[in-house]
Amino acid sequence: MIKTKALLFFFFLAVGVSSQLHGQITFDAKVSKKRLGLNERLRIDFVMNENGDNFVPPVFANFTVVSGPQQSVNRSWVNGVSSFSKTYTYFLTPKLKGTVGIGQAEITIQGEVYKTSPIEIQVTAAVEKPNDPNNIDYLTDENIRLVAEISNPLPYLNEGISVVYKLFFRNPISITDVQELESPSYGDFWSSKINIGRAQVNPRGRYKGESYNEVIWQKVVLYPQKSGKLNLEPLTLNLSLTVPSNRRDLFGRRILTQGQKTITAGQRILNVKPLPLEGQPESFSGAVGQFDFDVILSKDALKASESFQAKIKVNGKGNLNLFKLPEINVPNTLEVYEPERSDKIKTTLAGTQGSVEENYTIVPQYQGKYPIPPIQFSYFDPKTKAYKTMRSQELLVDVYEGPSAGTQSPKNTVGTSKTPITVSDSAFRFIQLETKFGPIKTASFWMSSRFWVLFFLPFLILILGYLVNRLIFQKSEDRASTKQRLAQKLAKKYLSSARKAFGSQVQFYEALERALHNYLKAKLKIETSELSKAKIEDLLKAKNVDTDVAKDFIAVVENCELARYAPGSDGSIQADYERASRVMATIDRQL
């Protein structure tokens, strides 16, 4: 009896503890990791131990939802103790680097609202080989590559290199959309991107000897501005993919599923070599590449009051935007103005090529022969790994018809000092230097003859216009209107005469035909008796009368001509009269 009571006591104690534990409701958010790369995926589970309703996920503003929510329920009964769990699962990829947060999720359990705690995730730069069990499957890892092809990983300082980012993919993967998540900033380089337009797929691409579909995503030309090890930041892309799943449809074909994958070209390190100091000329100003150099004068003979231009031009391939052109050196009796720089440059994968030039405007002060000393231009050629110096020819400018410099010898004085220009008086010969003053004659305009002429001139113009309109234009219009009214009256008269002659067929059709001709004379202002029926039809069409109406009018005229010689009935006479009236009314409306 005592044993039985003890067993019952322990049984009810276990049941009470189980019910107490069962009564504690939990709702938590769990993540697969709290630190991940920009190209890795994050799994987050929202787990509850009681069934709930109205689940509200957080706003994943800083993430892209790859899949989810995936719902799973687990029930178990172990040693008389039941357990329950319900999970909502999401797979996410981050959109940016740094510390990003995941907000609270909500659910209603037994009439009460429960919320999870916010979670902070540390997102680093993209990693080359993401170690994430929840990443996209083996197919995508083996069949998609993003590669940065660098033309020269060991360049000299200021030597141009090209970087081409290529996306390789092959069956059974197909890409539906591409978004650039992270772009290199090229902080230690002077960069110039090459416009490639719309991305095109090359089905004959090759990567490590294997066939791939190739897409050139970006082209850029870089000129390193520092020597040593420079980091080339990675390019990161987010791809929307269509991949085959392990499921098949009724016909045995594999079912395609949508997926997301973030890939990166990886960080690259360039070893930039400094330019050699040995053999570096004094005229070197940082030009690296292959160049030609020239100095060109716009004229070599001129007057002292004129000017000429000296052009210093460098063309070739290299860092054309990153060095200074040498300055011109002329005698101090030549006034030199600040140069105007211009360039014609284009950038391709071979580098920046074209020409840069500076134009100096020079004005001589005295007559004489002025030498332009040779100018040196130095550059470093990375192909030969040596400095090269180019020297312009000595030029001579002949200045004539100007003041003489006296005993001063311009040939021995060289510099860039700017002195005032001394110009002879003949240079300003076109300016009037002497003035002759005289009294200004003033006359009163008020009540003068010009005043009265200008005052009455508008009235005379109005009267003259009225008379011309009255005597010429209106008179001719009145004559035309009078003729038109007479023709209309005559048409009505003949149409009335035709109505009165219903008893006589010949008289009726003669009167009807005259009425038709007079009607056209009134409307078209023509003499129809002198025109053929085809011409009348053409005139009616020219006046925008419908073709059927014009033909109907000609048919009535022809009917009048035939009816005068063929027997008819009272019914046909009445029909022709009504037809003629209807045609005339229709033409009148259309005109």
Query: What pLDDT score does 524 carry?
Result: 72
- State residue 417's pLDDT score: 40
- What is the rounded average pLDDT of the residues 295-307? 87
Q: How many residues does the chain have?
A: 591
Q: What is the pLDDT of residues 493-509, one digit of tens each?
A: 667 777 777 777 777 77
pLDDT at 589 over 50: yes
Average pLDDT of the residues in 255-276: 85
For residue 477, the model assigns a pLDDT of 60
pLDDT band at 9 (very low <50, low <70, confident <90, very high): low
pLDDT of the residue at 20: 45
Taking alpha carbons only, the member of 125, 169, 143, 385 closest to residue 268 is: 125
Q: What's the pLDDT score for residue 479?
A: 63
| Model pLDDT, residue 532 | 72
Identify the weakest region by mean pLDDT among 307-316, 340-349, 472-481.
Answer: 472-481
Above 90 in pLDDT, residue 173?
no
pLDDT per position as a tens digit, 186-233: 888 999 998 888 888 888 888 888 889 999 999 999 999 999 999 888
Structure tokens at 531: 């025109």
Average pLDDT of the segment spanning 367-377:
89
Least Cα distance to 211 among 264, 143, 266 occurs for 143
Q: Which of 302, 337, 343 is nearest to 320 (CA)?
A: 343
Tell which wins on pLDDT, 390 or 141: 390
Tell me the CATH number of domain 24-124, given options 2.40.10.340, 3.20.20.70, 3.30.365.10, 2.60.120.570.
Answer: 2.60.120.570
Residue 569 has pLDDT above 60, yes or no: no
> Which is nearest to 218 in space by CA: 190, 204, 237?
237
- Kindly report the pTM of this predicted structure: 0.50
The answer to whether the beta carbons of residues 235 and 219 sit under 8 Å apart is: no
Range list for CATH 2.60.120.570 in the chain: 24-124
Chain region(s) in the chain for CATH 2.60.40: 138-272, 296-380+390-424
Distance CA(472)–CA(478), nearest Å, equals 10
Q: Which fold has domain 480-590?
A: Four Helix Bundle (Hemerythrin (Met), subunit A) (1.20.120)
Q: Evaluate whether 114 touches 25 at the Cβ level (below 8 Å).
A: yes
- The gap from C-alpha 316 to its chain's centroid, in whole angstroms, comes to 31
Tokens representing residue 365 in the block: 């002060």
Domain with CATH 1.20.120 in the chain: 480-590
Share of the chain above pLDDT 90, in %: 23
More confident residue, 75 or 233: 233
User: What is the model's pLDDT at position 168?
Assistant: 92
Cα atoms in the 13 Å half-sphere on the side-chain side of 256? 11
Contacts of 166 (CB under 8 A, 6+ apart): 146, 147, 149, 205, 214, 215, 216, 217
| Range 529-555 average pLDDT | 77
For the CA atoms of 473, 479, 481, 484, the dihedral, rounded to the nearest 10 degrees, stands at -150
pLDDT value at 281 more than 50: yes
pLDDT at 291: 94
| Token output for 443 | 């006359």
DSSP code per residue over 363-412: EE-S-EEEEE---EEEEEETTTTEEEEEEPPPEEEEEESS---TT--GGG
CA distances from 479 to 234, 470, 517 (A): 93, 13, 20
Q: Assess contact for 262 and 126: CB atoms under 8 A.
A: yes
Contact 301, 398 (CB under 8 A): yes
Question: Are 362 and 336 a contacting pair, CB within 8 Å?
Answer: yes
Banded model confidence at residue 165, pLDDT cuts 50, 70, 90: very high
Indicate the class that CATH gives domain 296-380+390-424.
mainly beta
Q: Residue 421: which pLDDT band, with cuts at 50, 70 and 90? A: very low
* CATH code, 138-272: 2.60.40
The residues with which 168 forms a beta bridge, in sequence order, are: 145, 214
Q: Are the beta carbons of 84 and 49 closer than 8 angstroms? A: yes
Residue-averaged pLDDT of the chain: 80
pLDDT: which is higher, 256 or 153: 153
The type of residue at 271 is N
What confidence tens digit (pLDDT) does each residue in 79-131 have? Answer: 777 788 888 888 888 888 889 989 999 999 888 889 999 999 999 887 765 55
pLDDT at 160: 93
